[in-house]
Amino acid sequence: MKNTLKRILSTLSLTAMCAVLFSGMLPVFADAGTATTGGLSVTPIIMIVVMLAVFYFFMIRPEQKKRKQTEEMRSKLGVGDKITTIGGMVGKIVDINNDLITFETGEDRVRIQVTKWAISTNGIQKKEEGEK
């Protein structure tokens, strides 16, 4: 959530800087015979809208898709699935209790509990992707 807000704020600040730069070019666009409304050029407004669209499709939308896929993967986890945590620990799920997942690591069968948001990948999904 914080990363998304940071990206939106950085996008808006970049857009504002570009708007300031383009506002100095208004007389140039007006002299070139572009369409004007009330003495102001429409071109900078169009450029800002295009920049916002580009930022949305290249920064915000892919992040939302990735987050949705990760949440879907976490909701489909089951006992026996091999997982990797965000910290890099690898193991096999032995119990799922609401938001807590218990998994075993290694041959000594050490059990560790983590929350669902701490799971980064599902080993079974990686096998399927590798087979394709």
State the average pLDDT over residues 22-35.
Answer: 53
State the average pLDDT over residues 86-110.
Answer: 91
What pLDDT does residue 5 have? 65
Assign 127 a pLDDT band (cuts: 50, 70, 90): very low
Beta strands 90-97 and 100-105 are antiparallel
Assign 94 a pLDDT band (cuts: 50, 70, 90): very high
Contacts of 9 (CB under 8 A, 6+ apart): none
The answer to whether the CB of 118 falls within 8 A of the CB of 86 is yes
**Total-model pTM:** 0.54
- What is the Cα–Cα distance from 115 to 92, expressed in whole angstroms? 14
Q: Where are the alpha helices (DSSP H) in 32-110?
A: 43-55, 61-75
Q: Could you tell me the CA-to-CA distances from 118 to 70, 86, 108 in Å, in that order?
A: 11, 5, 22
Nearest by Cα to 119 from 85, 76, 78: 85
What pLDDT does residue 14 have? 65
- Model confidence over 32-86: pLDDT tens digits? 555 545 556 788 888 889 989 998 888 889 999 999 999 999 889 999 999 999 9
What pLDDT does residue 2 have? 66
Q: Is the pLDDT of residue 128 over 60?
A: no
- The rounded percent of the chain whose pLDDT value lies above 90 is 33
Higher-confidence residue of 96 and 18: namely 96
